[in-house]
Structure 1
Amino acid sequence: MGIFTRFREIINSNINAMLDNAEDPEKLIKLMIREIEDTLVEIKSSCAGVIAARKKVERYLEEVRIREQEWNDRAKLAVKKGRDDLAREALMEKRNYTERAESLEKEVKEHGDLTEQYQDDIRQLEDKLKTAREKQRMLVQRHIRARRKKRVQEEIRRIDTSQTLAKFDELENRIERMEAEADLVNFGRKSTLEEEFDKLGLDDEIEKELQALKSPLEKKE
């Protein structure tokens, strides 16, 4: 199991705790990103420590290899001088350094494997952090829109109440009453055009009556 996997368990535990507390969505997203960032810093620090330790072992291995070669050269010199006893002692020392070098090479490889694991974990975590930040941007926008929509719906519900509708009905009745009163002001009054035609009819009647009065007088004459 990689280092990131272990840290991820910690992150999930903390996030679940935040969800249980019903935190504000924007605050929750920020905390989640903070958890990832903190984990990333810790993993990078651990990786740097392993790399430093590997370099230290590599330097020690180089020194051991040098000492191994020195004892090999001494064994050759002893053989050349006919000192097999010294050659055996030199070869024993060489073997000690050879065994130590093999152990150090194994340690260097283990440090290398661990470094690769750390680096892989770091890449995964950086990808997740990038994704989380992008989601943060989208989720914050959605949260803002949701809050605005909620306020609008609340305002609509506030307006759409029986009390409010009753006020609209009252206002409508008042306007209808004012319109009716305006119509009554001119009720029974004829328009100017109608009055003119009525005058024409009245003039004809007057003329007829006048002629009727004048006719007997005209016959007498």
Structure 2
Amino acid sequence: MNIFKRLYTIGKAELNSAIENFEDPIKLTENGISEMKDELRKSTEQLAQLKALLIRKKNEKQAEVDAAKDYQNKAILLIQKSENGEIPFDEADRLAIEAIKKQNISNEKAEQLQAESQKLQHECEKMQTNIHHLESSISKWENELRTLKARVQISEATKDINRKMTQIDSNSTVSMLEKLNERVAEQEALSQAYGEISNDKKTVDQEIDDILKNTDQEAEKALKKFKESLKKE
């Protein structure tokens, strides 16, 4: 059987087509496994038919073997009867010869059926090996399919993230950040300006108090410094 060579050729052609046309690898693998299962079903049916034929051939062979023994026993009985005087020698010899002829024919048929049975047995073993190989291949590719599905899911998720990332315009993002920074700077400057305006609105009394407050602080510092110098003397 060239089943595996044919499947390899088909699979290779479909793989090249998938690469060229960007076909769905999961669907392609599922189709391939489905074809292998169909081939497995057909091979199993053929094996069953071969085994049924082998059984019939073995039964036919056994029937011919039994017939040959029966004719041999009949020939012996005819000779024994002639020796006992139960039937004439000529009649016994004639019938015994015919029985031996039939025995030989049955033996020849049995040998032929034995050769056919051996050939069928060989074909059954060969087909059984191919079926085991096909079952193993199906199991392997079903495991590969589960792995492939997981890889595709990860790939799709990664592709989706990358696509979303590429949709973000880096220039527009930088521009937005610059505008935000400029806006903050404007708010800070505006706050400082209001502060300066608030200081400009001080009354004359407030200005006098501020000056005197600063003067008092300077006098306290001078006094403290003088006291420290006295302690040193």
Shorter chain as denominator, the TM-score bin is 0.7 to 0.9
Structure 1 partner of 2:8: 12
Structure 1 spans left out of the alignment, 5+ residues: 191-195, 207-221
Q: 1:143 aligns with which of 138, 152, 162?
A: 152
CA, structure 1 residues 205+180, in 2 after alignment: closer, same or farther (shift >3 Å)?
A: closer
Q: 2-side partners of 1:133 and 1:204: how far apart?
A: 90
Q: 2-side partners of 1:204 and 1:128: how far apart?
A: 97
Secondary structure (helix, strand or coil) at the match of 2:140 reads: helix
List per-residue Cα deviations over 1:37-83 (Å, max 9, x = no partner). Answer: 11111111111110111111122122212211121112112222242
Secondary structure (helix, strand or coil) at the match of 1:111 reads: helix
CA, structure 1 residues 106+202, in 2 after alignment: closer, same or farther (shift >3 Å)?
A: same
Give the counterpart letter for 1:184 in structure 2.
Answer: A
What aligned pairs does 1:108-123 form with structure 2 within 5 A after superposition? Answer: 108-123=117-132
Structure 2 partner of 1:28: 28
Q: 1-side partners of 2:41 and 2:155: how far apart?
A: 34
Residue 140 of structure 2 is aligned to residue 131 of structure 1: yes
Structure 1 partner of 2:44: 44
Q: TM-score if structure 1 supplies the norm length?
A: 0.78
Structure 2 partner of 1:101: 110
Q: Offset at 1:160?
A: 4.5
Q: 2-side partners of 1:100 and 1:185: how far apart?
A: 123
CA, structure 1 residues 182+40, in 2 after alignment: closer, same or farther (shift >3 Å)?
A: farther
Give the counterpart letter for 2:14 in structure 1.
Answer: M
Which deviates the most, 135-144 or 30-39? 30-39
Structure 2 partner of 1:219: none
Secondary structure (helix, strand or coil) at the match of 2:153 reads: helix
Which deviates the most, 176-185 or 40-49? 176-185
Q: Offset at 1:133?
A: 0.8
Structure 2 partner of 1:210: none
Hey, which bits of structure 1, 4+ residues long, moved more than 4 A?
A: 203-206
Structure 1 partner of 2:209: 199
Q: 1-side partners of 2:214 and 2:14: how far apart?
A: 100
Which deviates the most, 16-25 or 173-182? 173-182
Q: 1-side partners of 2:12 and 2:105: how far apart?
A: 55
Q: Offset at 1:30?
A: 0.6
Percent identity, aligned pairs only, is 22
List per-residue Cα deviations over 1:2-37 (Å, max 9, x = no partner). Answer: x3xx11122123223322332201111111211211
Q: 2:167 aligns with which of 158, 174, 190?
A: 158
Q: TM-score if structure 2 supplies the norm length?
A: 0.75
Structure 2 spans left out of the alignment, 5+ residues: 83-88, 200-205, 217-233
